[in-house]
Structure 1
Amino acid sequence: MKEIFNLKNLAYFTIMAMPLYIFRFSILGVPTNVFEILAIVSISLFFIRVVGSKIKLEGSKTYLMPIIMVLAGLLISALYNDAHQSGFGIIKSWFIIPIVFSWISLQLSEDRKDILKAMHGSAFLVACLSLLYFIAGETTFDGRLQAFYNSPNFLAMFLAPSIMIGVFLLKENKKIYSMTLSVMLVSLYLTQSYASWIAVFIAMILLLFLKKDLLKRNFILILMLIFILFFSLQKGTDKLNRFTNMEERSSAASRMMIWSSAMKIGLDNPAIGIGPGNFQNKYLEYQKYFPPYLEWAVPQPHNLFLAFWLQAGVLGIVGFLWILFLWFRKFIQKNEKQKEDYICLGIIIYIMVHGLFDTTYFKNDLAVIFWLIIFYYEKHLSQGDRCGEYFNRKCKTKA
């Protein structure tokens, strides 16, 4: 029983419980949610054990400076723009807790592939529950599946990284991962999130060309068939017509208008930004500079890089780009790459490609996914000689 109820498994359970952030409440007036409580418990227990041990907190300094830049940019922008309540909440829930929890989860993991499996398991459970919503007829006004999320795109952004995990784990257990992938692909299709489909396709194609694999051609063929099938089934639908139609009120025209407004907002506030959580208000304020908006409820600018610039200023966007640069450098410098390395690369590529059309970070679960992948290559903490087991059982060092 002790092997089941340990800190490592609590971290895995918390990763699987990422979607529970939808259950929100307040403690002493501070907004929080179920996922945050689980993450805070994991973090607290981890550092309690660190204090009582000889472990040196020296294993993970690569991203320290750019993370400080991002947090400083967010804080300065929040203070300057009087976005105190929303700003501090975003810094806590979408940055500090995901960053610290993701880091300690990878420190606790003996086999880091288990982190990816926990992410995949969480997405599979969400996909199963989402299909129940669809069977019950719970879809958006235009027939898209969003389940318990605020948008079909949020559901798609959560499922997509785990679909790539499943593809690369197929060889380990074809029966299980074929089943989980099938459920997730059906759910992803029902979201009708075209940007997500395209981003997954691009990421997988790039990976399959980079990774030397005997099944490469078969995988590419299967991916192309799935991609073609997804869009062929959309032929004649209002969603596809709005997507391809470049007329004044098309989906593409709406997205262009949002980006134009976001760019003007950014150019008017280039250094400090507008503060985290302030885009909706600024977007409406800038209506006077544009023809009547096609969309009014726009909490984010539908672009990952614009979102960081607008909400964290120059410090934030430079820090974010620096983090990505450091991660890619680590990937390139690693000599013997394993399949999980390519999984991580695929997820980062997906986040960046889909991030050109949506904001693939500013949600609790998406933030955790991002940082789990970013910290994947970080060294474990040191306790004498390196050990394979941390905190869960006694760590035996060489004499």
Structure 2
Amino acid sequence: MNMLLILLAALFAWIAWRDLRIGLFLILAFLPSYLLRFSFLGIPGTFLEALILISFLIWILKRGYQAHPLRQEHAWIVFLLLTVLTASIAVLASHGILTALGVWKAYFIEPIMFFILVTSVLKKPCDAWPFLTALASGSWLIILPGIVQYAFDFGIPAPWDVERRITSIFSYPNAVGLSLGPVAIISFFALMQKDAWKNRRMRTFWILTGIASLLVIMLAQSEAALVAATATIFLSALFFPRLRAATIACAILATIGLGLFPDLRTFAVEKLTLQDFSGRVRLTQWKETAAFLSDHPIFGAGLSGYPDAIEPYHKERAYEIFQYPHNILLNTWVELGLLGLAVLTYAGALMTKTFWQTWKKEPMILLASGVVLEMTIHGLVDAPYFKNDLSVLTWFFLALIFVTHVAYARHSH
């Protein structure tokens, strides 16, 4: 296996050396390649990490930092430095330093490298569509195995096989929703572009990708992903005048439907107020996590330290201990401490400022902000960042927001 990965890495290096953009396309298309793991000189890694490191080395050798647009963007430089500093402190706060270092490099350092690469190569927001197409193309690596799993009721791991909740190439169903939710949002915005309806092939691609993504999310029974995608599409549609009236009409009809059908209303209230089994598990997690944080508010548990740190506070033995508390704020606080919450707030301020400055002029900011919104809504009950592919995905959309900001600043001057 290692020899095959070396050969594939060498092929990738040759491609990226000839055209770094294509290399970045391949990274986005093969985000699930983090599932391919190896060890180099005793250091564990993934194939996705190798692709990013190879690309970053090529960029240094061929371009370097001299011409990077970050040089003029001090607020974003502060954000990057604070992120690295916060993650580094979280390593020291963890009781498992080696494991924490692995998370540090895979979830922070390498995704930031990818951010730097994308923002170096991508000059205009409108040029992002090939990147997005590559990402959506790669989603079929998740979609097709998921459909096959469900169609033949084959290969679904326990205990998910009892409910026939597909996991596709992953080991648990929610990973499907976390990966495909953003793709559904990208597909929606792609179909909102006028050019999509001029090109029959691309229109067909985006329709199929969007529908298939939502279908596979449903087959995985990832309710949080469905709610997040639906809510994001609804809110995003309000920004398009031709959809606004129909969107409001749908909202009114949905409200009437909830009023007319008590069973449906009861079901919706149960889900939204977390009164079903999954919701009760989350509420229990959050209660135990709050108790832990009341005793360790400054540094939390450190990177990858939550499962061990929460053990003394885990009273509901009927529920397992998860890797994260499954809430975006609690995840951040537990892993990165109070400084992590401050950095998250800072990032939110940067994104919000860019959005309000540019949304009427740069359509790409609607797409990038829409994906971030979907991940945030999903993150109310899950962990939308702390995973190899999701951390890279997050920094990719931060890169799109940064590129939009730079383009706006350039035009303003």
222, 240, 260: which one pairs with 1:212?
240
- Output the CA distance in 1 between the equivalents of 2:87 and 2:18: 37
Measure how far apart 1:77 and its partner are: 2.9
- Output the CA distance in 1 between the equivalents of 2:286 and 2:66: 51
Give the match for residue 231 of structure 2: 202
Higher helix share: 2
Please show how residues 35-54 of structure 1 align to structure 2 within 5 Å.
35-51=48-64
Give the match for residue 301 of structure 2: 274
Give the match for residue 319 of structure 1: 343
Q: Is the 8 A contact 1:73 1:272 kept in 2?
A: no
Give the match for residue 168 of structure 1: 189
Length, aligned pairs only: 369
Measure how far apart 1:356 and its partner are: 1.0
Give the match for residue 134 of structure 2: 118
Task: Evaluate the alpha carbon distance shift between residue 106 and residue 80 of structure 1 in structure 2; reply closer, same or farther with a 3 A threshold.
Answer: closer
309, 318, 326: which one pairs with 1:302?
326
Q: Is the 8 A contact 2:56 2:114 kept in 1?
A: yes
1:349 aligns to 2:373 (yes or no)? yes
1:187 aligns to 2:216 (yes or no)? yes
1:10 aligns to 2:18 (yes or no)? no
Of structures 1 and 2, the one scoring higher in RCO (CA 8 A, sep 6+) is 1
Measure how far apart 1:272 and its partner are: 1.3
Deviates more, 1:31-40 or 1:70-79: 70-79
Deviates more, 1:71-80 or 1:217-226: 217-226
Task: Evaluate the alpha carbon distance shift between residue 128 and residue 221 of structure 1 in structure 2; reply closer, same or farther with a 3 A threshold.
Answer: farther
Could you say what secondary structure the match of 1:378 adopts? Answer: helix
Measure how far apart 1:190 and its partner are: 0.6
Measure how far apart 1:285 and its partner are: 2.4
Task: Evaluate the alpha carbon distance shift between residue 294 and residue 8 of structure 1 in structure 2; reply closer, same or farther with a 3 A threshold.
Answer: same
- Post-superposition Cα deviations, 1:38-66, rounded to whole Å, max 9, x if no partner, equal 11111110111124x96356155432223
Task: Evaluate the alpha carbon distance shift between residue 317 and residue 334 of structure 1 in structure 2; reply closer, same or farther with a 3 A threshold.
Answer: same
Q: Is the 8 A contact 2:38 2:45 kept in 1?
A: yes
- Post-superposition Cα deviations, 1:230-264, rounded to whole Å, max 9, x if no partner, equal xxxxx99xx999958977x8322211100101111
Q: Is the 8 A contact 2:32 2:48 kept in 1?
A: yes
Give the match for residue 7 of structure 2: none
- Post-superposition Cα deviations, 1:346-385, rounded to whole Å, max 9, x if no partner, equal 11111211111111100011111111111213359x9xxx
Aligned partner letter, 1:55: A
Measure how far apart 1:315 and its partner are: 1.1
TM-score w.r.t. the length of structure 2 is 0.80
Aligned partner letter, 1:155: V
- Output the CA distance in 1 between the equivalents of 2:183 and 2:38: 28
Q: Is the 8 A contact 1:201 1:223 kept in 2?
A: no
Please show how residues 1-399 of structure 1 align to structure 2 within 5 Å.
5-51=18-64, 55=67, 58-109=71-122, 111-137=127-153, 138-139=155-156, 140-141=160-161, 142-170=163-191, 171=193, 172=196, 173-209=202-238, 211-218=239-246, 250-287=277-314, 290=315, 292-334=316-358, 336-379=360-403
- Output the CA distance in 2 between the equivalents of 1:29 and 1:342: 43
- Output the CA distance in 2 between the equivalents of 1:79 and 1:303: 23
Give the match for residue 392 of structure 1: none
Could you say what secondary structure the match of 1:148 adopts? Answer: coil
Could you say what secondary structure the match of 1:112 adopts? Answer: helix
Gaps of 5+ in 2: 1-13, 197-201, 255-262
- Output the CA distance in 2 between the equivalents of 1:293 and 1:266: 20
- Output the CA distance in 2 between the equivalents of 1:3 and 1:364: 21
Task: Evaluate the alpha carbon distance shift between residue 69 and residue 244 of structure 1 in structure 2; reply closer, same or farther with a 3 A threshold.
Answer: closer
Task: Evaluate the alpha carbon distance shift between residue 246 and residue 129 of structure 1 in structure 2; reply closer, same or farther with a 3 A threshold.
Answer: closer
Could you say what secondary structure the match of 2:241 adopts? Answer: coil
> Percent of counterpart pairs with the same letter?
22
Superposition RMSD in Å: 3.3
Give the match for residue 389 of structure 1: none
Aligned partner letter, 2:94: N
Q: Is the 8 A contact 1:276 1:311 kept in 2?
A: yes
Q: Is the 8 A contact 2:237 2:243 kept in 1?
A: no
Give the match for residue 259 of structure 2: none
Could you say what secondary structure the match of 1:271 adopts? Answer: coil
Aligned partner letter, 1:205: F
Q: Is the 8 A contact 2:36 2:46 kept in 1?
A: yes
- Output the CA distance in 1 between the equivalents of 2:271 and 2:349: 32
- Output the CA distance in 2 between the equivalents of 1:255 and 1:79: 28
- Output the CA distance in 2 between the equivalents of 1:359 and 1:277: 13
Gaps of 5+ in 1: 227-234, 387-399
- Output the CA distance in 2 between the equivalents of 1:3 and 1:279: 38
Aligned partner letter, 1:375: A
- Output the CA distance in 2 between the equivalents of 1:362 and 1:254: 20
